A and B are shown apart, each in its own frame.
Chain A
């Protein structure tokens, strides 16, 4: 914690958890789907579902999907802006209580028909926790440079990828492996202290068994 966690962030109101956090979840979904989706369906849970209209949670998530930051004054006009920019969207309310009360599940489809699922929770003070990418349950907060590396679960994967990071002098702050089943689809989530560049992303993508690598820049 530092002084700017207390006096800050600069944000658009009215609620750090329902507005600023929601923008961030939208931004992550945009990064994972590789840009602005063509259509999105957003399912809201708990308090997000109950109060989204009053808190502008819907506008905030759409703003994030359009690439806006939490202090962007266009957030309140984001729904109209999305229509202008050709991003179709739909909101659904869910009464499923199994999730954290401030949770959104974003299903995005790009113009090629490729689908991406991102689920995240707003955990207070504008901070978030991403808990699902496509079919894999994950856990990261987007405060670091974050690399998502979906791959086929085979031996030696971690060393192959982390060596590439080490070669460029990049320190790993946290790293986790998630998989649906042994030998099945898996995902590495690597959070780094230093900035990661696109060149490194391509090098990782060239590793055998890696399907693709997604870089998410810090969302703060």
Chain B
């Protein structure tokens, strides 16, 4: 049985057994849940289908949310890509577009998979689905990589938090990016140790990020933070795959995130009383929405 207390434990066990983190997590979860591995794979595959549907829906809809605060950005991104305006290469641009798309579907009360939360639901699918298309990976490979993401996410949830109300946006979009980075490394053939470093690198980049949604709604800055979270995951994975290591070990980074989250004032943890939510423009918008 795995305790899910340390990411390093996952990486070391996988290394010792010559397995991927995903295979380790899948085998353990099948045991703990008393279900067959095939059964878990099928359930995870369902989530992947919902993720893909949300991405394609969001890329084509362009509709606004009920509050009017978000919507239409994914479509703009897609049009820019079609017009050949990609600055950072197609993988990055396509990732941004999908992350925006899924987050917009969420804001419009569409169907998504919380990963790990609804607010951060665009990050993991945007990264993994884009890599799948760009590098001709199979659906089965992507499903497996979701077990890596989930395994690391369980550690983060246990030792720190995955909720904006508890730990700020570092805990939501930060955790999603860290999980996506580790999964992306595995998907692209990196080692379990590289996955652990990617997780640490992604998380370190957003330590301290507060949760400050305008009017308390999961839209501004959330939709665009899904895009930046996905980009964060890609760059962390790319560095880790190049052999770059995190100087601070991954589990110490997670502990630091927890400490920072605890020290964060309540006004910056989803209460919409501080940060961007407390700007004149945000307050004006909130008044109009809730009039």
Contact = CB atoms under 8 A, between A and B. Distances in A.
Interface stretch (B41-49, B79-87, B231-239): B41-49
B111 A10 contact: yes
Given A3-B40, A8-B113, A124-B165, 6 more contacts: A3-B44, A8-B114, A10-B111, A10-B113, A50-B216, A54-B219
5 contacts: A2-B32, A6-B150, A13-B112, A16-B117, A51-B290
A29 to B, nearest CB: 20
Interface stretch (A71-79, A104-112, A160-168): A71-79
Interface in B119-149: 119, 121, 124, 146-147, 149
Interface stretch (B6-14, B91-99, B100-108, B203-211): B100-108
Interface stretch (B152-160, B184-192, B194-202, B246-254): B152-160
Nearest to B119: A15
Contacts of A6: 115-116, 149-150, 153-154, 157, 162, 179
Please list the 9 inter-chain residue pairs (A to B) with the smallest Cβ-Cβ separation, ordered nearest first.
Answer: A13-B106, A3-B150, A6-B153, A76-B109, A54-B217, A14-B218, A51-B216, A6-B150, A54-B67
Interface residues on B, range: 35 or more
Contacts of A11: 111-114, 118
Contact of A1 (B154, B217, B219): B154
A170 interface: no
B263 interface: no
A184 to B, nearest CB: 38
Contacts of B149: 6-7
A53 B118 contact: no
B35 to A, nearest CB: 10
Contacts of B108: 13-14, 76
Nearest to A56: B109
Nearest to A1: B154
Interface residues of A, number: 34
A13 B109 contact: yes
A76 B149 CA distance: 30
Interface in A12-32: 12-17, 19-20
Interface of B: 4, 25, 29, 32-33, 40, 43-44, 46-47, 50, 65-67, 69, 105-119, 121, 124, 146-147, 149-151, 153-154, 157-158, 162-163, 165, 179, 215-219, 289-290
Given A7-B116, A54-B289, A14 B150 contact: no
Contacts of A4: 43-44, 47, 150
A47 interface: yes
Interface of A: 1-17, 19-20, 47, 50-51, 53-56, 59, 71, 73, 75-76, 124-126
A53 B40 contact: no
A14 B118 contact: yes
Contacts of B165: 17, 124
Given A7-B113, A13-B107, A51 B32 contact: no
A23 to B, nearest CB: 11
Contacts of B4: 1
Contacts of A17: 165
Nearest to B48: A7
A7 B66 contact: no
B226 to A, nearest CB: 12
Contacts of A16: 114, 117-118
Contact of B110 (A12, A50, A59): A12
A100 B147 CA distance: 34
Nearest to A126: B114
A124 B163 contact: yes
Given A2-B32, A10-B47, A14-B217, A50 B290 contact: yes
B117 A125 contact: yes
B109 A59 contact: yes
Contact of A19 (B29, B105, B109, B157): B109
A54 B252 CA distance: 37
Contact of B158 (A1, A10, A50): A1
Nearest to A60: B109
Nearest to B161: A124
B146 to A, nearest CB: 5
A20 B110 CA distance: 12
A54 B218 CA distance: 9
A13 B117 contact: no
B111 A14 contact: no
Contacts of B289: 53-54
